[in-house]
């Protein structure tokens, strides 16, 4: 197995794991973590696929670099939203709301 | 039942995705972007291909991306209910952290500046530098340093939009000169990229620290009794 195939396999597995975790967990924090695992899988797939002959391609690397920073900011925003939600409703999942 | 369905869906997704990726691997690439980038490198104004892609060849993506970051930062800031800073109960007074801060903060500031400078000819650049600078700010906040510029006000707003504003200004200047939107004049490309990257670094760090700073300690006075009741 070449390193490229290993990256691709790991990326695909991370995507599958994240997807299952995202749907199975109900705690918002876990959902967020699962979603980030899925995102990491996508990044790994994107960078891993784009290096035929073991020389990396700068274009997907630049895309993933911006993607990582955006994912980080989006995660931070999601955490702020979650804390606000918890603050308002006292819940860590999305069943029901403050009105219940 | 739900567990079974989700597991089946996850396995199907994994297999289909894996098969698609495998087929992509087996095919020869129709266009080799590496060659295109290598050919255009002399015009880019920098010596590192990833920086050239980020801030010259695909700078439109990067411009929109810093726009997304600014929006995320503003959304986070608008979400806070009360002034979140110095809730004294939330401060850390860990002596180890305080001692480490004195070592780490200057080191991290230098590291961030180095990463920014290194981006022109080796791995590094605005995003890495911004992430390190943001982490420095988070560390300072954890150590209980007030960081007054994070209060809602002119400094925070300026810091958030600086990167986007400088980038947009350079982009529009190109259009005003009669060139294309986002086209840099050839002889100025290197300098402009450094200026944009410095502004981007500050803004990225500001967004990250800002989001971190609004997340904790949102409790108002009336929440304290109920909080203590939970403990």
Interval B146-161: pLDDT, tens: 777 777 778 888 888 9
Interface check for A81 against chain B (CB to CB < 8 A): the answer is yes
Can you tell me the distance from the alpha carbon of A8 to that of B130, in angstroms, rounded to the nearest whole number?
29
Which of B54-58, B65-69, B185-189 is predicted most confidently? B65-69
- Nearest Cα neighbor of B195 from B220, B229, B169 is B169
Residues from chain B that touch A87, judged by Cβ atoms under 8 A, are 81, 218-219, 223
Domain match, B26 and B46 both = no
Residues from chain A that touch B17, judged by Cβ atoms under 8 A, are 12, 15-16, 45
Q: How many CB atoms lie within 10 A of CB A65?
A: 23
A54 conformational bin, left if phi > 0, alpha if psi -120 to 50, beta if neither: left
Task: Answer whether residue B223 is part of any domain.
Answer: no
B144 conformational bin, left if phi > 0, alpha if psi -120 to 50, beta if neither: left
Q: Which domain holds residue B19?
A: 1-30
Domain match, B11 and B55 both = no
Domain match, B52 and B74 both = yes
Q: How many CB atoms lie within 10 A of CB B185?
A: 13
* pLDDT beyond 70 at B20: yes
**In Å, how far from its chain's centre is CA B144?**
23
Min distance A56 CA to chain B CA atoms (Å)? 8
* pLDDT beyond 50 at B230: no
Min distance B98 CA to chain A CA atoms (Å)? 25
**Spatial contact of B192 and B45, defined as CB atoms under 8 Å apart:** yes
Interface test with B, best of A72, A86, A92 (most B CBs within 10 A): A72
Domain match, B76 and B149 both = yes
Residues from chain B that touch A84, judged by Cβ atoms under 8 A, are 79-81, 218
Domain positions in chain A are: 3-89
**Mean pLDDT value of segment B182-202:** 85
| pLDDT for position A96 | 63
| pLDDT for position B92 | 66
DSSP annotation of B45 reads S
Whether residue A9 and residue B127 make contact (CB cut-off 8 A), yes or no, is no
Whether residue A69 and residue B65 make contact (CB cut-off 8 A), yes or no, is yes
Domain match, B57 and B117 both = yes
Interface check for A6 against chain B (CB to CB < 8 A): the answer is no
Task: Answer whether residue B224 is part of any domain.
Answer: no
- Which of these ranges, A38-42, B14-18, B227-231, has the smallest mean pLDDT? B227-231
Domain match, B89 and B168 both = yes
Residues from chain B that touch A83, judged by Cβ atoms under 8 A, are 215-216, 218
Interval B104-135: pLDDT, tens: 999 999 999 999 988 878 878 888 899 999 99
Task: Answer whether residue B186 is part of any domain.
Answer: yes
- Nearest Cα neighbor of A38 from A11, A75, A63 is A11
Whether residue B21 and residue A49 make contact (CB cut-off 8 A), yes or no, is yes
The structural domain count of chain B equals 2
Can you tell me the distance from the alpha carbon of A56 to that of A58, in angstroms, rounded to the nearest whole number?
6
CATH 1.10.287.3510 for domain A3-89: yes
**What residue has token string 């108002």?**
B220
- Nearest Cα neighbor of B197 from B80, B93, B54 is B54
Question: Rounded to the nearest 5 degrees, what angle is found at the Cα of B51, between the Cα atoms of B183 and A15?
Answer: 115
What burial letters (b/e) apply to B1-40, b meaning 16+ CB within 10 Å? eeeeebeeebeebbeebbeebeeeeeeeeeeebbeebeee
Between A8, A24, A77, which is nearest B75 by CB? Answer: A77
* pLDDT beyond 50 at B221: no
Q: Read off the pLDDT band of A21 (50, 70, 90).
A: very high
Domain match, B88 and B61 both = yes
Can you tell me the distance from the alpha carbon of B111 to that of B193, in angstroms, rounded to the nearest whole number?
19
Residues with Cβ within 8 Å of residue B57, at least 6 apart in sequence: A59, B37, B40, B44
| pLDDT for position A85 | 83
A73 versus B30: which is more confidently predicted?
A73
Whether residue B72 and residue A19 make contact (CB cut-off 8 A), yes or no, is no
| pLDDT for position A99 | 53
DSSP annotation of B181 reads T
* pLDDT beyond 90 at B74: no
Q: What is B108-172 written as a DSSP string?
A: HHHHHHHHHHHTTTSS--HHHHHHHHHHHHHHHHHTT---GGGSTTHHHHHHHHHHHHHHHHHHH
Domain match, B133 and B22 both = no
| pLDDT for position B227 | 45
CB-defined contacts A:B, below 8 A: 128
- Longest Cα–Cα distance of chain A, Å, equals 59
Can you tell me the distance from the alpha carbon of A36 to that of A39, in angstroms, rounded to the nearest whole number?
5
Domain match, B94 and B133 both = yes
Mean of pLDDT over chain B:
81
Give the 3-state secondary structure of residue B67.
Answer: helix
Nearest CA in chain B to A69: B127
Whether residue A70 and residue B65 make contact (CB cut-off 8 A), yes or no, is yes
Whether residue A73 and residue B211 make contact (CB cut-off 8 A), yes or no, is yes
Give the 3-state secondary structure of residue A9.
Answer: helix
**Spatial contact of B104 and B139, defined as CB atoms under 8 Å apart:** yes
Whether residue B54 and residue A65 make contact (CB cut-off 8 A), yes or no, is yes
């Amino acid at each position: 197995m070449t390193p490229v195939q290993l990256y691709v396999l790991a990326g695909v597995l991370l995507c599958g794991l994240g997807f299952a975790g995202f749907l199975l967990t109900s705690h918002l924090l876990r959902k967020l973590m699962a979603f980030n695992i899925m995102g990491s899988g996508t990044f790994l797939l994107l960078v891993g696929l784009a290096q035929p002959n073991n020389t990396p391609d700068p274009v997907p690397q630049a895309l993933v670099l911006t993607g990582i920073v955006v994912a980080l900011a989006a995660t931070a925003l999601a955490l702020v939203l979650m804390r606000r939600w918890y603050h308002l409703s006292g819940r860590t999942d999305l069943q029901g709301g403050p009105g219940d | 039942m739900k567990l079974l369905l989700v597991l089946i869906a996850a396995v199907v997704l994994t297999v289909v995705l894996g098969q698609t990726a495998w087929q992509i691997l087996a095919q020869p690439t129709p266009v080799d972007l590496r060659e295109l980038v290598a050919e255009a490198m002399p015009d880019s104004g920098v010596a590192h291909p990833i920086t050239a892609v980020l801030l010259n060849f695909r700078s439109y993506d990067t411009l929109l991306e810093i726009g997304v970051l600014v929006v995320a930062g503003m959304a986070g800031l608008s979400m806070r209910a009360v002034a979140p800073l110095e809730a004294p109960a939330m401060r850390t007074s860990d002596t180890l952290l305080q001692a480490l801060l004195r070592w780490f903060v200057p080191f991290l500031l230098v590291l961030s500046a180095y990463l920014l400078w290194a981006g022109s000819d080796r791995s590094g650049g605005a995003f890495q530098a911004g992430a390190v600078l943001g982490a420095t700010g988070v560390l300072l906040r954890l150590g209980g340093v007030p960081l007054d510029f994070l209060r809602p006000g002119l400094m925070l707003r300026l810091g958030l939009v600086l990167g986007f504003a400088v980038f947009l200004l350079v982009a529009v200047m190109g259009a005003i000169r009669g060139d294309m939107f986002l086209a840099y004049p050839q002889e100025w490309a290197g300098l402009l990229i450094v200026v944009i990257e410095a502004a981007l670094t500050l803004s990225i760090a500001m967004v990250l620290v800002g989001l971190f700073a609004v997340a904790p300690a949102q409790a108002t006075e009336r929440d304290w009794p109920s909080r203590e009741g939970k403990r």
